[in-house]
Amino acid sequence: MKIDQIIAKLTKNELITLPLINKETSFDDLLKQTGLKEVELMRALQWLQNKGLITLKHDLKELVILEENGKKYKKIGLPERRLLNALLKFNQLSLDEAKRVASLSKEELSAALGILKQKGAISLSEKNIIITELGKKLGKKTSLEEKFLQLEFPIEKKDLKPEQLYALNNLSKRKGIVKIKIVKRRFASPTPIGLKIIKSKKLKPEELIETLTPE
């Protein structure tokens, strides 16, 4: 079938969409460029694929996103950091003093105590939390978890370095800090005949796009 005959059988939405697929192009990019609604674009792409002019594929990506506590801790610091800072200033604090000075909830204080004790940064007496010499040294350093929270989110898990994956694993075990969201990405690529039609310059998508009016 000749190019002109193929073009003559294309719908308006197909005529708008096809010229924009001169290489592998994401569904999201096509949505922006065409101005079509999602269902309209998907239908046009399926028709173009049925006519042998494009191929469709999809993949999945893992996005790391900050949850409510993660956003909060990015601004004010993790509970263990706030407690450690308070102990650096006062050397030792009672539980009630620690909650007040470090602005910690009961749950945050419990988490901070567990983490700092595991790191050897504090010791616990009958009444007080006491910073250790190791704790004083750790107080001058930024933890892997703190560095991780300062990244720009969302971020693809596959792009993370080993130490960032370690931090992600630790933070994932804690309530409401980070989570991994699976996102499906769709792509369209031209077939040889589709590319030939695109390169023929016989399609005028800009003229058709201008005629689109929102409902």
Predicted pLDDT at 214? 46
Domain positions in the chain are 3-53+191-210, 61-76+143-183, 79-141
Answer for the pair 205, 16: CB distance below 8 angstroms, yes or no.
Answer: yes
Q: Which of 45, 46, 47 minimizes the C-alpha distance to 21?
A: 45
For residue 213, name the pLDDT band (cuts at 50, 70, 90).
very low
| Digit-coded pLDDT (tens) for 141-194 | 999 999 999 999 999 999 999 999 999 999 999 999 999 999 999 999 999 999
Sign of the torsion formed by the C-alpha atoms of 45, 49, 52 and 55:
positive
| Digit-coded pLDDT (tens) for 40-91 | 999 999 999 999 999 999 999 999 999 999 999 999 999 999 999 999 999 9
| Digit-coded pLDDT (tens) for 180-195 | 999 999 999 999 999 9
What is the C-alpha separation between 180 and 44, in angstroms, rounded?
32
What is the C-alpha separation between 127 and 163, in angstroms, rounded?
36
| Digit-coded pLDDT (tens) for 113-146 | 999 999 999 999 989 999 999 999 999 999 999 9
CATH topology of domain 79-141: Arc Repressor Mutant, subunit A (1.10.10)
For residue 4, name the pLDDT band (cuts at 50, 70, 90).
confident
* Whole-structure pTM value: 0.74
For residue 202, name the pLDDT band (cuts at 50, 70, 90).
confident
